[in-house]
Amino acid sequence: MRLSLKKTFLQNIPLKILSLALAVIMWYLLMGEEKADMGIRVPLNLSNLPPSTIITNEVVDEINVRVSGTQNLLRGLPKMNTSISFDLSELKIGSSEFQIFPEMIHLSRGLKTIGISPSIFTIELEPTIERTLLVEVIILGEPAKGYKVSDIKAVPAKVKLEGAKSELKGLNRVSTVAVDISGMKDALEREVPLNLSSLHLSKVESSVVKVKIDIVERFIKKELSKNPVEVLNIHRRYKLKPKTIDLTIMGPENVLENFPMDELRVYIDLEGLGPGKYRRRATIKIPERVSLLNCKPSWFEIRIY
């Protein structure tokens, strides 16, 4: 019995292998014919916008489309070159609504559009105007202590823009992106983009300007009151009137806030003078980078005995 079964199994081996292969192929073909669906993103093309107009609302650039068909056909769907196009040449100023229909999506035979999202979109169309606007440089932060901004320039100082009338008609200037000068001591020069993100523009003469910011030391005034006046080269008894002087000086803030009093000297030299009455000015020595603005009194009375 066993020999009979074995003999039966071993008979017509090539035919049995061919039958198995045909069965696999039929299964594969049947599976490929099963229906399924797939989502794709289809570009939205808007062409022929009327002259001197601009779209001022956000319009999607891709549409989500759901497609059904056999699995074999769906496999080639991602490689399919298709798009949805609208001709805007007859579009009027204002708000217009557009609807996307399944027949506008060109698919291979055997595939069908079963879903579109969004299927409706709106276009807000405005007329454009041209304006030449001043450039305003926006700075952020403060220079280092004791320094200040002395001048700010933008090159060019004005730029020409063309864009939505409702946005540009009330503007007289356009600002740059903020320039951070925190802690700086030296002049700055760099190219800085204009802040145009909130505007709908069709033409921009220049979207970048060269910004020059001059940063210099801050100079302040300081009052020094009742500074003693020295008398030099006198070996006699004398009388000085008054004995102190008030000074007004100017210099860098960082120097004057911690003014080195040991570097200040006020004196009158009486060398070679004998007894009598004299009227003299004081010699005033001050540190470098500091200037004398005023002194009181200007003259001193001296009596030598």
For residue 108, the model assigns a pLDDT of 82
State how far the Cα of 174 lies from the Cα of 122, in Å rounded to an integer: 29
What's the distance, Cα to Cα, between the start and end of the chain in Å? 159
Name the CATH topology of 128-217.
RNA Polymerase Alpha Subunit; Chain A, domain 2 (2.170.120)
Model confidence pLDDT, tens digit, residues 141-172? 999 999 999 999 999 999 999 999 999 998 99
Tokens of 275: 């007894």
Is residue 245 pLDDT above 80, yes or no?
yes
What's residue 21's pLDDT?
57
For the segment 267-288, the average pLDDT, to the nearest whole number, is: 94
On whether the 34-126 domain is CATH 1.20.120.450, my answer is: no
Question: Is pLDDT above 60 for 30?
Answer: no
- Under DSSP, the state recorded for 176 is B
List the domain boundaries for the chain. Answer: 34-126, 128-217, 219-304
The per-residue pLDDT for range 101-125, each reduced to its tens digit, is 999 988 888 898 999 999 999 999 9
Residue 217: name the closest of 287, 150, 146 by CA: 146
Flag whether pLDDT at 221 surpasses 80: yes
* Residue 127 scores a pLDDT above 80: yes
pTM (predicted TM-score): 0.68
Topology agreement, domain 34-126 and domain 219-304: yes
CA–CA gap between residue 65 and residue 41 (Å, rounded): 6
What mean pLDDT do residues 234-240 have?
92
Q: Which two tokens stand for residue 43?
A: 């570009």
Instruction: Please report the pLDDT score of residue 283 as a whole number.
Output: 96
> d(Cα 83, Cα 43) in Å, to the nearest integer?
5
Domain 219-304 carries which CATH code?
2.170.120.30
